[in-house]
Amino acid sequence: MTYDSLAHFLHDGKEHFAKGPLALVFVEDDVEIDSTLHHHLTLGFKSVIAFMPREFELTEELQALCPRIDMPSPRGQAMLDTVNAISKAAPDLWVYYCFNAEYLFFPFCETRSIAEMLAFHTEERRDAMLTYVIDLYASDLNTHPNAVSLDAPLLDRSGYYALARPDADNHNHPKDRQLDFFGGLRWRFEEHIPTTKRKIDRISIFRTQENLALLEDFTFDNQEYNTYACPWHNNLTAAVVSFRTAKALKSNPGSTFDIQEFSWHNSVPFEWHSRQLLDLGLMEPGQWF
């Protein structure tokens, strides 16, 4: 199930997005490709689709389970264009997107599937879900120079905050039910992060529409999609635990030599369980009992 381009996939691979939810995994480097795909397969996505450079390899098992689309550089505008093209080609499907070495968690995901969670979210009349990108990092950068360790990752237990999101069309009031969220490594090492890249919120899960556009800051041109809750009560949110920022800070020549360790007094071991994220306030169960 390999396609040599997005156009080839959209033309000949329609059976893979005939029914959602879909997971789109954009593989930027060769770190933890297999574990990323396996994790999202276990969550119950109907299709887990990998966009990756041709030189990267998949195991035989994953080749059989995951459609693969050759993409020289699955990041930046190419990534946005891909999400938007799939949204246009397959409207009214639930879609999730992430990068390699990122892992989705939602409330009670150990016992409930992604389809069950999204069925409830649909009943709440929601078409998108806010996710927080929570940084993971290795405790020992000498042993793990790329900052990635699945066996003993750490995360920040505090240091997260939110600011009102300005409205360019109404300078007197911020946007309704929208906030900019900050924290993690992008906050602690902000001198190495461009101002426009410091937010940790994404609208990672959404229902496709033909005229919908994902923007550079991982929000959509439909403002209701960018809200964290409906007007009446809190809604579900999810978390994407991610080594992506740690990898970037240690691979970038401008930051790697300035950072000897990521751990600090507010680091705690990540337990790979949704309960920990709920207890830390890093996702919201809403009205889901």
The 10s digit of each residue's pLDDT in 152-187 is 999 999 999 999 998 877 777 899 999 999 999 999
Question: Rounded distance, CA 142 to CA 163, Å?
Answer: 36
How much is the pLDDT for 63?
92
How much is the pLDDT for 289?
56
Mean pLDDT, the chain, rounded, equals 94
Q: Is the pLDDT of residue 285 over 70?
A: yes
Question: Rounded distance, CA 76 to CA 283, Å?
Answer: 26
| End-to-end alpha carbon distance in the chain | 39
Residues near 159 by beta carbon (within 8 Å), at least 6 away in sequence: 183, 184, 187, 188, 266
| Closest of 122, 8, 277 to residue 114, by C-alpha | 122
- Is 252 in contact with 235 (CB distance < 8 Å)? no
> Which has more confidence, 252 or 100?
100
Question: Rounded distance, CA 202 to CA 215, Å?
Answer: 10
Question: Rounded distance, CA 175 to CA 180, Å?
Answer: 10
The rounded percent of the chain whose pLDDT value lies above 70 is 100
Question: Rounded distance, CA 65 to CA 49, Å?
Answer: 9
How much is the pLDDT for 1?
81
Q: What is the pairing mode between strands 102-105 and 201-207?
A: unpaired
Q: Is the pLDDT of residue 250 over 60?
A: yes
The 10s digit of each residue's pLDDT in 12-37 is 988 898 888 999 999 999 999 999 99
The 10s digit of each residue's pLDDT in 120-149 is 999 999 999 999 999 999 999 999 999 999
Question: Rounded distance, CA 197 to CA 217, Å?
Answer: 8
How much is the pLDDT for 286?
86
Query: What does the block give as tokens for 36?
Result: 């990323």
How much is the pLDDT for 170?
78
What is the layout of strands, in order, in the sheet containing 137-138? 137-138, 153-156, 267-269
Question: Rounded distance, CA 178 to CA 175, Å?
Answer: 6
The rounded percent of the chain whose pLDDT value lies above 90 is 87
Q: Is the pLDDT of residue 271 over 60?
A: yes
Helix (H, G, I), strand (E, B) or coil at 11: helix
